[in-house]
Amino acid sequence: MTEESVVAVAQRLQPQLVTHLMTLIKTKRLAHAYLFNGADGTGRQQVAQTVAMRLFCQNVTDNLPCGQCSECRRILAGDHPDVVSVVPDGQRIKVDQVRYLKAEFTKSAVEGNQKIFIVDQVERMTTGAANSLLKFIEEPVGNTVALLLTANKNLILPTILSRTQIVDFLRVAPQALLTALADAGITPSQRYLLTTLTESVTAAQDLVVDDWLKDAQQAVGQWFSACCTGDERAFVRVQTELVPLALNRDRQGVLLDMVVQAWHDALRQQNATLEAASLAFPKVAQASQQVAQRLSIDQLVRVMTLTLATRGQLAGNLNFQAILEALTLEILTITAR
């Protein structure tokens, strides 16, 4: 991504928010700690970079950073000593990264009187690391700003939520995302599902590489169909078909989100038959409609509640296979004839 496009993307995705933040900086009313809460593709990283550049830019134009001066370029290259950025190393923000953050928290700005910290995917911090961060938020050193970025504020410690200004990013309009996915060459049967999983075309393209999404959509669909009829082979499908697709923690999360959407299709079909293009799993539309007619609304809501809980279980480091197997058994109890 070029220097100009960072600001351009931030403005395109979150125009009102960018204007508001730029005004706060200009009038010196920027708070010392924010939590940017937005799904992937909503521009939370670009907005954070835009804020950092605006704080240091040498040639502010129309209250926006120029993206061209040496300060802006250093920030975008990750080479500015007073802009400290941390992203997860693997699945977690590691202990040594936390030590680095804690050490930087105690230091004054190197080149001026301003320092900014950007911590992406802050929900991946351990509780101990999050508490260390909390201390900084409560007792900031000097003229500092902390931008904490997350895709799910519900996974953040309540103590951090209460001590930061929470900024909820606007979601990308579904139709606009569908159009962008079509322009990117995504298969029609996968487009609606992808709009429920991400708001980023780049992330969507990553999911379809090597037919991973195609295989996952088929496997989850077959598992769902078995669950709909109370077929106990659904339990076996977890180990034989779903676990092999769970290549890492991120893909495990995507699979659990797909499970949620499979049952959401059924819930949405309780009162109306939907077109295939508006279903996450169009190839099992018949099974979805049949289970919607057979189960009561209370039963479907119960299943939805169980599926929605799986993401929190994964965040709590429960085993992916164990989560899905337990879910399957509970669903089979509800759907058994």
Q: pLDDT digit string (tens) for 101-113?
A: 878 877 777 887 8
Res. 51 pLDDT band, cuts 50 70 90: very high
Residue type at position 72:
C
pLDDT tens by residue, 307-326:
999 988 998 878 999 999 99
Domains and CATH numbers, the chain: 3-168 (3.40.50.300), 174-335 (no CATH)
User: 83-88 long-range contacts, Cβ below 8 Å, gap at least 24?
Assistant: 83/52, 83/56, 83/115, 83/116, 83/118, 84/115, 84/116, 84/117, 84/118, 85/117, 85/118, 85/119, 85/120, 86/117, 86/118, 86/119, 86/120, 87/120, 87/121, 88/120, 88/121, 88/124
Question: Where would I find the beta strands (DSSP E) of the chain?
Answer: 33-37, 83-86, 115-119, 144-150, 165-168
- Positive or negative CA dihedral for 65, 67, 72, 78? positive
Given this model, what pLDDT does residue 296 score? Answer: 92
Given this model, what pLDDT does residue 91 score? Answer: 67
| Mean pLDDT confidence for 53-68 | 94
Given this model, what pLDDT does residue 90 score? Answer: 67
Q: Closest by alpha carbon to 225, among 303, 291, 276, 269?
A: 291
Residue type at position 262:
A
The pTM is what? 0.66
Given this model, what pLDDT does residue 288 score? Answer: 94
Q: Is the pLDDT of residue 159 over 50?
A: yes
Q: What are the beta bridge partners of residue 116?
A: 83, 145
The per-residue pLDDT of the chain, averaged, comes to 89
Q: How many C-beta atoms lie closer than 10 Å to residue 108's C-beta?
A: 12
Please state, for a pLDDT cut of 70, what percent of the chain lies above it.
98
Backbone angles phi, psi at 60, to 5 degrees: -60, 130
State the Cα angle at 130 between 125 and 135, rounded to 5°.
155
Please state, for a pLDDT cut of 90, what percent of the chain lies above it.
61
